[in-house]
Structures are given as structure tokens and as C-alpha cells.
């Protein structure tokens, strides 16, 4: 046999040996098995409602087949978790074969059964994997909570909700004309994507400054993938018949449109009063008022607006069709990110919209209107259609605009000055609109009738009040 033939024989034998190894099962205790996580956590899941299913990937990192002797859910059939491996449901699986460099998928779902407690409760279990004498445990944890579920619910008479349990709106909730719904401090309202909160009567939200005592409206998706996405529910709608609405220390977040309010331009007090409220992370707009009356103090309306047309959508605040508006110590700002491209001004005011132009009277004091990173260069736009009475005033203001703002009167305004918010990071999706030391908003507000800020801190803290909803401490 020639040297050349011998070399080919050796190579062929090696290839055959490699093929046999690849087709055979690795039995060594050193066989590698990688899982995408060693623990899995589910955010708060309401009782009797299954969470969004999460997955774990199990990868065979060897160049041979691997046989998993057993995959088992610790709690078995009584567990709050359910297990599915490669499309097959069950609580225990044995002799699972994996090809070399291949993966299998485990899907884990959680359903929480009611308990006697109103507080969140911790649920634990584990998944065990066994192969070649090895054993690995993946921890499963979740918080569950009882809730009151409302389907197509109507408030037909004066009603008070307390904070013992959160409320989950499966479908639309309606407050009938003539009825008042009062929410006590700490109430949490979770709304399905198809569940607007419609007020034909009156809504009174009596939150308090401490965070546990805030009233919160948000979507019902609290799992990690969706809990911070805008557009998760439809928002609060105050119809033409509504009146006497008061929201104190209330946070409206992740809505498609935070608040819509129409009619009642001449109501006194205002049709909608907002005191120390936040409207944040809305997809289309934060607050839209059409020929209405709104009084807002110490409010943050931030990170709202994607696409939209001028005066129709895409802004933090739109005041259209005339009306009467008073904003004091408010911060209105959006910085473009993946979810809010910020094409429209943060604040848009017009007497047009809704048919015939109507009288407009708007006063903004001690406020900040700002933003950046989007397609708009004017964060403040005032549009006037001639005819009815028109008065728009800004006193003690920081705002950003490339073009001159027509049809408005300014006093003590700082144009295109950076308000120096504490920290804004669109890449990390963190937005802190408090003021940094040295901010031009500090000590530049006029004397204020409000003695605290959005955090409940004293105002003024220095020699004069600060602009915006936060007082630098």
C-alpha cells in the first residue's frame, strides 16, 4: 500500500469514527448542557388569569447526541405553573433525545388561584433537569394578587372604591351621568387593551403624595415584555355630559391616549382639575381637550406622542376648539425614543377643531415646555383662526422653539434654554424630570399659591419657587 493510499485510509477511518461519535450518545458526566436562565420570575399576576407564557431554551453544547434522563416540574399537577416541552404539555418528561448542537424549548405558564389575602403573595416552584448523572434546578418565582374583575361595568350611582384590592377592567367601564365614582388613596386600576374608562358623570381620585397612596391607571399587562410599552390601553375619556372631575396624585401611564376631555368650556370650577398628576408614556398623546376647561397644577405630562397630525395627535398636550385652561407649575416634555418619535410639538394650542372656532383663554405660569431628538423643532405652537376671542399667555416659562410663537403673549420667558433635567437617557429608557443643581428653572418662578411640589416637597425650597412640577431640594 502506497503512502498516499495509507493517508486516505487514515482520513476515511477518522471521518467514519467522527460520524459514529456524532450519531452516538455522549455518556460522560462532563457532557455540557446549557439553559438560557437559572431562574425565571413572573411579575405580578392577578388571580385566575394566566400570565404570558415565558420560555427557557435548553441547548446541547456537545458534538454528540445527548439523552436527558428527566425534566420534571417540582410541584407536579398541583403546581401553579404548567410546563410544555417542545409542544408537549406535562409535569414530567423522560428520555428526551437531543441532537448534537441542538436545542429544545420549555414553555412555562402561571395561573394563580385566589387566596384569602388582599396583599401580593409569593409563589415558588422549580424545574429539575437530569442527564448523565448531573442535576440542575431552575427556580420559578412569581407574585400573585387577588383583584376585582369588572366586565362591561357601569357606575349608576355614587360609588366609592378603596385600595384593598386592585381593579382589573376586562371591558369598558362607564360612569353614568349624574353618578360620581370616588377612588380613595392607593387605588390601582388595570385596564385591558379593549377597556376605556368612560366618564359621563364625575370622577374623583383622592390620591396622596406618598407613592403607595398614589392612584394609578395603567394597562393590565405587567409582564416584563409589555409593562413599559406605550399604548397598552385606551385611556380616560370625559364626555360632554361630564363635570366636576378632580384627579389628585394620580398617575396615568402606558395608555394610547392618556386623557380625552370634551365640552364644558365655561364650567366653573373647571370640568377637569388635575393636582399633582402624571401622564406618562402615552403612545398618541397625553392630554387632549376640545372646547373644554382644565386646571392643572404640579403636573408632569411627559414622553407622549408618536406620529400624529398637528393639533390632532402626537403631542403631550393639545388644547383645541377653544376653551378655558389654567396650567401652573407643569412640566410638559418628550424626548424621542424607540416608541415616541416625537414628530409634533409637546404643546399645541388652537381655537380650531371640532367645527366652528370658539373662544380661547389659556394661561400657563411657572412651567417648562421642552423636548428633543424628534422631528419637531418647535415644542410650543399656537394656531389662531380669526373670529372669536383669543387670549394665550405664558408667564415665567422655559420653552424650546425654532420659530417665533405667534398669537401669544410672553412674560419672563427663557427661550431655547436647557432646563437641565436631572437625567434623561433614551437608550436606557429612564426619564427623571427633576431639576439638577444650577438649572435655570430654579428660583425663577413667580410667587405661587401651591405650597408643595409633585413629590410633596415644600415649595418654595429656596428664596423663590422653581419652574415646573418639581422643586429642587
Q: Mind listing the pLDDT tens digit for each residue in 257-300?
A: 999 999 999 999 999 999 999 999 999 999 999 999 999 999 99
Please check the confidence at residue 2 and state whether its pLDDT lies above 80: no
From the list 300, 303, 351, the residue with the least C-alpha distance to 469 is: 300
Q: What is the mean pLDDT of the chain?
A: 91
Does domain 148-435 bear CATH number 2.160.20? yes
> Which has more confidence, 14 or 310?
310
Question: How far is Cα 283 from Cα 329, in angstroms, rounded to an integer?
Answer: 24
Q: Is 94 exposed, middle or buried (0-12, 13-18, 19+ CB in 10 A)?
A: exposed
Percentage of the chain beyond pLDDT 90 is 78
Average pLDDT over residues 205-223: 92
Q: What are phi and psi of 196, to 5 degrees?
A: -70, 155
Q: Is 60 exposed, middle or buried (0-12, 13-18, 19+ CB in 10 A)?
A: buried
Q: What are phi and psi of 320, to 5 degrees?
A: -125, 160
33-144: CATH homologous superfamily?
Immunoglobulins (2.60.40.10)
Please check the confidence at residue 328 and state whether its pLDDT lies above 60: yes
**Strands (DSSP E) along 159-242, which ranges?**
159-161, 167-169, 173-175, 180-183, 188-191, 197-199, 202-206, 215-219, 236-238
By DSSP bridging, strand 134-145 and strand 39-46 are parallel
Least confident of 71-75, 145-149, 157-161, 450-454: 145-149
The tens digit of pLDDT for each residue in 156-188 reads: 999 999 999 999 998 999 999 999 999 999 999
From the list 278, 227, 231, 218, the residue with the least C-alpha distance to 250 is: 278
Please check the confidence at residue 417 and state whether its pLDDT lies above 80: yes
Is there a contact between 216 and 253 (Cβ–Cβ < 8 Å)? yes
Segment (H or E) for 306: none
CB neighbours of residue 285 within 10 Å: 28
CB neighbours of residue 310 within 10 Å: 16
Percentage of the chain beyond pLDDT 70 is 94
By DSSP bridging, strand 103-110 and strand 81-85 are antiparallel
Question: How far is Cα 298 from Cα 173, in angstroms, rounded to an integer?
Answer: 28
Identify the pLDDT of residue 16. Answer: 44
- The dihedral over CA atoms of 394, 400, 406, 410, expressed in degrees to the nearest 10, equals 30
**Terminal-residue alpha carbon distance, the chain:** 91
Q: How confident is the model at residue 53 (pLDDT cuts 50, 70, 90)?
A: confident
Identify the pLDDT of residue 14. Answer: 46
The tens digit of pLDDT for each residue in 349-406 reads: 999 987 889 999 999 999 999 999 988 999 999 999 988 999 999 999 999 999 999 9
Handedness of CA 425, 466, 279, 377 (dihedral sign): negative
In the chain, what are the domain boundaries?
33-144, 148-435
The tens digit of pLDDT for each residue in 97-130 reads: 999 999 999 999 988 877 767 777 788 999 999 9
Identify the pLDDT of residue 5. Answer: 55
> Which has more confidence, 14 or 175?
175
CB neighbours of residue 467 within 10 Å: 28
> Which has more confidence, 442 or 20?
442
Please check the confidence at residue 239 and state whether its pLDDT lies above 70: yes
> Which has more confidence, 202 or 224?
202
What angle is formed at CA 328 by the lines to CA 200 and CA 308, rounded to 5 degrees? 60
Query: What's this model's pTM, rounded to 2 decimal places?
Result: 0.82
Least confident of 20-34, 65-79, 328-342: 20-34
Identify the pLDDT of residue 220. Answer: 87
Is there a contact between 282 and 255 (Cβ–Cβ < 8 Å)? yes
Q: Which residues pair with 361 in a beta bridge?
A: 324, 391
CB hemisphere CA count around 255 (13 angstroms)? 31
Please check the confidence at residue 9 and state whether its pLDDT lies above 80: no
Amino acid at each position: 500500500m502506497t503512502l498516499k493510499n495509507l493517508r486516505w485510509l487514515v482520513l476515511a477511518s477518522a471521518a467514519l469514527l467522527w460520524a459514529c461519535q456524532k450519531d452516538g450518545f455522549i455518556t460522560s458526566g462532563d457532557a455540557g448542557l446549557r439553559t438560557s436562565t437559572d431562574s425565571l420570575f413572573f411579575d405580578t399576576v392577578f388571580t385566575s388569569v394566566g400570565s404570558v407564557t415565558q420560555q427557557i431554551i435548553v441547548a446541547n453544547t456537545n458534538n454528540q447526541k445527548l439523552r436527558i434522563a428527566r425534566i420534571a416540574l417540582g410541584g407536579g399537577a398541583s403546581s401553579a405553573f404548567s410546563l410544555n416541552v417542545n409542544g408537549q404539555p406535562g409535569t414530567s418528561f423522560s428520555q428526551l433525545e437531543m441532537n448534537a448542537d441542538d436545542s429544545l424549548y420549555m414553555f412555562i405558564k402561571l395561573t394563580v388561584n385566589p387566596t384569602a389575602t388582599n396583599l401580593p403573595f409569593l409563589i415558588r416552584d422549580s424545574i429539575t433537569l437530569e442527564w448523565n448523572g448531573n442535576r440542575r434546578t431552575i427556580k420559578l418565582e412569581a407574585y400573585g394578587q387577588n383583584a376585582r374583575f369588572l366586565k362591561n361595568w357601569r357606575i349608576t350611582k355614587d360609588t366609592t372604591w378603596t385600595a384593598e384590592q386592585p381593579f382589573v377592567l376586562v371591558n369598558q367601564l362607564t360612569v353614568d351621568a349624574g353618578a360620581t365614582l370616588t377612588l380613595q388613596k392607593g387605588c390601582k386600576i388595570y385596564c385591558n387593551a379593549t377597556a376605556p374608562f368612560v366618564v359621563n358623570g364625575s370622577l374623583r381620585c383622592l390620591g396622596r403624595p406618598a407613592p403607595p397612596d398614589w392612584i394609578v391607571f395603567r394597562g393590565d399587562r405587567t409582564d416584563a415584555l409589555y409593562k413599559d410599552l406605550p399604548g397598552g390601553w385606551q385611556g380616560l375619556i370625559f364626555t360632554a355630559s361630564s363635570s366636576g372631575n378632580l384627579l389628585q396624585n394620580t398617575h396615568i401611564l402606558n395608555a394610547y391616549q392618556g386623557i380625552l376631555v370634551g365640552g364644558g368650556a365655561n364650567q366653573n370650577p373647571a370640568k377637569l382639575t388635575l393636582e399633582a398628576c402624571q401622564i406618562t408614556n402615552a403612545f398618541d398623546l397625553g392630554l387632549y381637550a376640545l372646547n373644554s376647561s382644565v386646571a392643572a397644577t404640579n403636573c408632569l405630562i411627559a414622553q407622549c406622542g408618536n406620529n400624529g397630525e398637528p393639533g390632532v395627535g402626537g403631542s403631550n398636550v393639545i388644547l383645541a376648539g377653544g376653551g378655558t385652561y389654567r396650567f401652573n407649575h407643569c412640566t410638559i416634555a418628550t424626548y424621542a425614543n424607540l416608541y415616541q418619535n416625537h414628530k409634533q410639538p409637546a404643546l399645541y394650542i388652537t381655537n380650531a377643531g371640532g367645527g366652528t372656532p370658539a373662544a380661547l383663554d389659556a394661561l400657563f405660569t411657572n412651567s417648562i415646555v421642552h423636548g428633543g431628538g424628534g422631528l419637531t423643532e418647535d415644542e410650543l405652537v399656537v394656531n389662531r383662526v380669526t373670529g372669536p376671542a383669543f387670549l394665550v399667555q405664558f408667564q415665567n416659562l422655559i420653552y424650546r422653539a425654532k420659530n417665533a410663537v405667534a398669537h401669544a403673549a410672553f412674560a419672563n420667558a427663557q427661550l431655547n434654554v436647557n432646563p437641565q433635567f436631572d437625567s434623561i437617557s433614551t437608550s436606557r429608557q429612564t426619564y427623571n424630570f427633576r431639576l439638577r443643581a444650577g438649572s435655570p428653572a430654579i428660583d425663577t418662578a413667580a410667587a405661587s399659591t401651591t405650597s408643595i411640589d409633585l413629590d410633596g416637597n415644600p415649595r418654595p425650597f429656596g428664596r423663590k419657587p422653581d419652574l415646573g412640577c418639581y422643586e429642587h431640594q
